């Protein structure tokens, strides 16, 4: 089975190339056939030999003009069958020769059409041969032949040219397909290698990403603990600041107010004994204030909780 394929991946270009080769080969062969008919007088009428090359030149021109490939192939096969039918009508006694030439049509078809279409055309050609065989049997039950070696040699040469050309075209297309498949396989191998390399890169990238995610997860967990600890510290500090504000506005204010009051009273008192008593009270108030400030500083330095009740009781931190 012939498989038509294309280097540029465009459907139909492979068959188009095969059909071009076929038209060029058959054009040359039937030009040779025409000159042989001039010298040897083959069974084909000279006028038909003269126009036969145009059955292949015209489709070649139309193909270059962009006419649909399937239409041209169909028309060419029908033209060949029409020519053979015409030859059978003009020379029915040469049926024994023409029937073998008709048998070449399936070979021509196989070099051009797709496998499914070749089956249909093969069946049609078989019916064509059978119908003409019945026609010849009915018209010429039996007859005598006169053989001409030159004509047989010339016809054999043309037959060889046609079969060799078709087989050469088939082999050429197959070789072209083999090269294309080799190139495609090479490209696929390269693509596979690139995909494997990319997969390996992706694997290591994913591994790195997972490691980073684990690190981030660990950092986030530690961050939550640190935030909780920091929040707890801030709460303690807020409580201490609240206590400190109370102490500053109440506990510290009392001894300071006493000191200020005693100093004012000291300035107003003239009696020496009273002034000494005021100084004793003033000294005691200063000592109380100093102890209270010392306790507050100690509590702040040791990060102990400020407790107003313990300060008032004079307890230790």
Q: Which residues of the chain have pLDDT under 70?
A: 1-13, 111, 143, 145, 244, 247-251, 299-317
Q: What is the pLDDT of residue 105?
A: 81
DSSP 44-78: S-HHHHHHTTHHHHHHHHHHHTT--HHHHHHHHHH
Q: What is the pLDDT of residue 2?
A: 38
- Buried b / exposed e across 260-299, counting CB within 10 Å, b at 16+? eebeeebeeeeeeeeeeebeeebeebeebbeebeebbeeb
Joined tokens for residue 14: 């492979």
In what helix (H) or strand (E) does residue 276 lie, and over which residues does it extend?
helix 272-301
Q: Token match 């053989």: residue?
A: 147
Residue 113 DSSP code: S
Q: Token match 């001409």: residue?
A: 148
145: Cβ contacts below 8 Å, ≥ 6 apart: 93, 96
pTM of the predicted model over 0.75: no
What are the pLDDT digits (tens) for 177-212? 788 888 888 889 889 888 988 888 888 888 889 888
Q: What is the pLDDT of residue 11?
A: 41
- The vertex-221 CA angle with 220 and 226, nearest 5°, equals 90
What are the pLDDT digits (tens) for 134-146? 888 887 777 676 7
């Amino acid at each position: 089975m012939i498989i038509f394929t294309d280097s540029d991946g465009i459907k139909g270009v492979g068959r188009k190339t095969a059909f071009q080769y076929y038209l060029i080969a058959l054009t040359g062969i039937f030009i040779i056939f025409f000159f042989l008919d001039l010298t040897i007088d083959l069974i084909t009428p000279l006028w038909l030999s003269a126009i036969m090359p145009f059955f292949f030149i015209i489709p070649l021109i139309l193909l270059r003009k962009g006419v649909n490939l399937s239409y041209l192939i169909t028309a060419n096969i029908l033209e060949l069958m029409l020519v053979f039918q015409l030859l059978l009508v003009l020379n029915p006694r040469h049926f024994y020769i023409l029937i073998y030439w008709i048998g070449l049509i399936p070979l021509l078809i196989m070099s051009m059409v797709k496998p499914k279409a070749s089956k249909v055309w093969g069946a049609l050609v078989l019916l064509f041969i059978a119908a003409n065989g019945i026609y010849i049997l009915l018209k010429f039950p039996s007859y005598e032949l006169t053989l001409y070696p030159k004509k047989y040699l010339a016809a054999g040469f043309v037959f060889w040219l046609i079969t060799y050309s078709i087989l050469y075209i088939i082999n050429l297309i197959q070789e072209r397909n083999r090269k294309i498949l080799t190139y495609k396989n090479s490209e696929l191998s390269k693509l596979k290698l690139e995909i494997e390399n990319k997969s390996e890169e992706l694997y290591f990238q994913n591994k790195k990403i997972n490691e980073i995610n684990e690190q981030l997860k660990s950092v986030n967990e530690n961050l939550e603990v640190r935030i909780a600890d920091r929040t707890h510290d801030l709460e303690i500090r807020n409580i201490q600041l609240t206590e400190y504000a109370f102490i500053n506005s109440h506990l510290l204010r009392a001894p300071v107010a006493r000191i200020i009051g005693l100093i004012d009273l000291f300035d107003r008192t003239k009696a020496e004994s009273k002034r000494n008593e005021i100084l004793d009270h003033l000294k005691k108030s200063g000592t109380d204030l100093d102890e209270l400030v010392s306790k507050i500083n100690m509590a702040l330095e040791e990060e102990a909780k400020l407790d107003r009740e313990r300060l008032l009781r004079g307890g230790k931190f």
